[in-house]
Chain A
Amino acid sequence: MKLFEFQAKEAFAEQGIPIPAGMVATNREEVLKAVKGTGLPCMIKAQVLRGGRGKAGLIKRALSEAEAVEKAEGLFNSEYNVRKVLVEAAVDIDRELYMAVTYDPVDARAMFIACAEGGVEIEKLAAEHPDTIVTVTVDMDWGLMPHHVRDLTFGLGLEGETAKAVGDVARKLFKVFRDTGAELAEINPLFIVKSGGVIAGDGKLNIDDCVAGGKYPVTREYFDSDTEYEAALEGIPYIPFDGDIALMCGGAGLTTTVYDLVHYAGGSVAAYVEFGGPNYTRARDAMRLCLKKTCKVLLVVTFGTIARADVMATGLVEAIRELKPAMPIVTCIRGTNEEEAFATLRAAGIEPLYETEEAVQRAVAIAAGRNA
């Protein structure tokens, strides 16, 4: 789960990482109130989850109250679905660093990544000059130790008070990473301020979905559409696309494969709904999500083990009876107890297909208006 910048900064501030004075605003009045707090000049930052906000013009600088209001309203009315802006005091910067804590799945340790040059070009820098990137791995059972922090600050070529301040941020950022169950805690840029000291200029915090629920409940603002929000509340993976064929498939690997096969056959995908894993008994909920998107055909492909074929076929037949989808349905449900599944489908007047590619060809033909 990706959090908004203001949420990441709240988590940083809780551990004592310095952040700019700032306030979240959702309308003109709140922007004016916020500017009183931050002073001028100030930054107006759209709170959206997409990356590259600076390049997309979603971060503005304002020199007066009137300009702050005008820029904020520009963001609220933009195509990017901006509901909140973060109004922050502008910071007088000496230089920028990059610092993140994530993990290395090979080494199986947490990993600091840092660079003496922060900012938006960090990925390019990492690719072209990998030697400028400092990494320090930390065993989750040992925790962060003084030598880790020394490796980090000496690696960045820092000295004196700056080294001390950056080391302090490292310790606190690791605590954020650990306590929130994060997959990523990133500060880019980390400002070194002209007056001394450091301030987190931006904040990214991605929380492991397995642990996010308690502190960060699922709300509408994290999603682009009502259906995506609804699917998340239901706990059913759902991705909308713009094509003709709705996929109700079991397992991420099989679904991406079916997605490929549809494209190879000249078709296009309307939506993907996960009908496998823990959701294999929820044919009705899955189909309801599928039907939210206009589509010409519903393609069901599964090859389950624990997600038994007979259970899925029975669920599908009941869902069809209840939801009465208008479009044709192509099924290829196989796996545990598949013979019973085929019988159930036949009894309901549905032809059970056996080969994934045949089912895909059939669905693409129907979507194209050809009789399969």
Chain B
Amino acid sequence: MSIFLDANTTVEVQGATGKEGAYWLKHMKEMGTMVVFGVTPGKEGQKIEGVPVFSSVRRGMKQHAADLAMLFVPPRFTKDAIFEALDAGITKIVSIAEGVPVHELLQIRRAALSCGAMVIGGNTSGVISPGRALAGCIPYWIERVYRQGDIGVMTRSGSLTNEVTAEIVKGGFGVSTLIGVGGDMVPGTRFAELLPLYENDPETRAVVIIGELGGSMEEEVAEAMQAKIFTKPMVAFIGGRTAPEGRRMGHAGAIVSGGRGSVSGKVAALEKAGALTAAKPSQVGPLLREITAAR
């Protein structure tokens, strides 16, 4: 088992014939992901890596049912591409694009909530269930980083994810499913919304979150733990403990966040909820050993 994505998840790839789309479609297939069709307007009838290409998601869905839409689409076309997948009835969407305007991100998340769909991203490297399937651009072939196991990982970061995940493997563990919720101001899916999935996944024994300065996603995780929505062991790494405060958004930012957003506040909230927090990536492995041995 895993969450969101496994070896039986059927995937359609939007932007399949572009440089990035084609490169990662090949890797997704090589890893064993069930890619059923690709979408590039005007390229219907072509094949890429043996996968048929259609001019629209609906046209592809008439012949192949896809559970998940993987978007390699530039930011200015991303909103339309996500709504196209939603219109075709797809409820799992992963979008990597960085640079989608905030107002469009609001519309995307609101539409996903209304449709009961889950949009992962944007500004992310995607989702991987090591050994089974990949939706995104994650170098699964680097064995010291991506090994199958029983640790769920949620992250807001890219490069830091490779860094921390390597420490999970070094600690003797592997990953059930890693989900990059992305670095946008309005992520399509928030950390706390993934917790019930990890909670119900028998293969996930503990979860590591890789957080950052700003926003309130880490505090929401702490609240979910306090409310017993998530009861498995949790280790958190949050970078920026010594960094100067990030950008401020007038008085409104402070009022909205209600004092949340600082690294020290996040660490305190998570520790109070029972998570162990790492000051350095290299502590993540040992802390995982400690917290999984204790239960």
Contact = CB atoms under 8 A, between A and B. Distances in A.
Contacts of B142: 335-336, 338
Contacts of B99: 210
Contacts of A251: 157-160
Interface in A140-199: 140-141, 178, 181, 183-184, 186, 188
A274 B69 CA distance: 31
A108 B113 contact: yes
Given A102-B252, A208-B103, A252-B212, A108 B159 contact: no
A253 B256 contact: no
Contacts of A181: 101-103
A122 B251 contact: yes
Interface stretch (A76-84, A222-230, A286-294, A299-307): A299-307
**Most-contacted residue by chain A among B110, B125, B190 (CB, 10 A):** B110
A208 B159 contact: no
Interface residues of B, number: 61
A47 to B, nearest CB: 16
24 contacts: A102-B256, A105-B215, A106-B190, A106-B216, A108-B106, A111-B256, A122-B251, A123-B254, A126-B258, A127-B258, A183-B249, A250-B159, A251-B157, A252-B157, A253-B210, A254-B239, A257-B239, A260-B239, A260-B279, A263-B242, A305-B158, A306-B20, A336-B139, A338-B142
B107 interface: yes
B223 to A, nearest CB: 11
Given A98-B251, A188-B251, A277-B98, A303 B215 contact: no
A319 interface: no
B88 interface: no
B240 interface: yes
Contacts of A302: 159
Interface stretch (B10-18, B180-188, B198-206, B268-276): B180-188
B51 interface: no
> Chain A contact residues: over half helix, strand or loop, or mixed?
mixed
Contact of A140 (B98, B106, B243, B251): B106
Interface in B77-109: 98-103, 105-107, 109
Contacts of A336: 139, 142
A221 B142 CA distance: 45
Interface of A: 51, 98, 100, 102-106, 108-111, 113, 122-123, 126-127, 130, 133, 139-141, 178, 181, 183-184, 186, 188, 204, 206, 208, 210-211, 249-254, 256-257, 259-261, 263-264, 276-278, 302-307, 334-336, 338, 356-357
B241 interface: yes
Interface in B270-290: 279-282
Nearest to A332: B163
Given A206-B249, A253-B156, 10 more contacts: A51-B248, A100-B250, A108-B186, A110-B106, A183-B249, A253-B158, A256-B212, A257-B281, A304-B159, A356-B281
A257 B248 CA distance: 20
B249 A140 contact: no
A103 B157 contact: no
B277 to A, nearest CB: 13
Given A181-B101, A306-B20, A252 B183 contact: yes
